[in-house]
Amino acid sequence: MTAELRIDAHTGLVSGASYQASPNCDDRPAGMQPELLVVHGISLPPGQFGGPAISALFCNSLDPAEHPFFAEIAHLRVSAHVLIRRDGSLIQYVPLHRRAWHAGRSSYCGREHCNDFSIGVELEGCDDIPYEPVQYRRLVSFVHALQAVYPRITRERIVGHCHIAPGRKSDPGPAFDWQAFFNALDAGD
C-alpha cells in the first residue's frame, strides 16, 4: 500500500510529492474551485517510460534535438497538477488551487474550458500498455486526499481526457482499467 497523501489547502501542495514548478499555469477565474478530476496518460518519447522528458515538457526545457518527437512538441506550453510515475512516485508541477494547462479545448456536461474548474493528473503510460498496480493505488490515495479538500470532486466527477475532448484525445486509453480503479476507490484501498 502506498502512503496516505495529504493536501495543504492553503499552499495547494501534496505531501509526499516532489515539487518541480511549472511556469505553465495561472490563476483560476475568481471564486472558481476544483470540482473535476481529469485523468491523463503520457509517455515521452511515446511508449517509453522513465527519464526526465515529461518534467522537461511541463517545465519548458524539453530539448527538441533529443528525439524526433520532441521537435514536434517542444514549443507547447502545457502542464498538469501532478504526475504519477510507473513506480508510484508523485511529482507535482502546479499547486492545486491554481489552473494547470492540461485539458486544452474541452467540455464537461456542457461547460467549456475544463482547466478552469479541474485538476489534471497524468499517469506515466500510454493507451495500449497496462498501467501499474502501484499507479492505481497512488491515484486512489490522491483522490481521497483531493476529496478531503475539494468535496465536489465526487466519483462521478472523475473523467479521462478522452471524455472531455472526444475525438481529439484518447488518454488514458483502453489500457486504463476504470472498473478496477473505481472498485478500489469505493473500497477505500
Which residues are catalytic, by number? 122
DSSP string, 4-35: PP-B-TTT-PBTT-EE---SSEEEPSTT----
Give the H or E element holding residue 124.
Answer: strand 118-124
Which residue in this structure is represented by grid cell 502501484? 134
Cα(145)–Cα(125) distance, integer angstroms:
22
What are the C-alpha distances in Å from 5 to residues 14, 69, 109, 180?
Answer: 7, 34, 29, 20
Which residue in this structure is represented by grid cell 524539453? 62
Give the H or E element holding residue 91.
Answer: strand 90-92
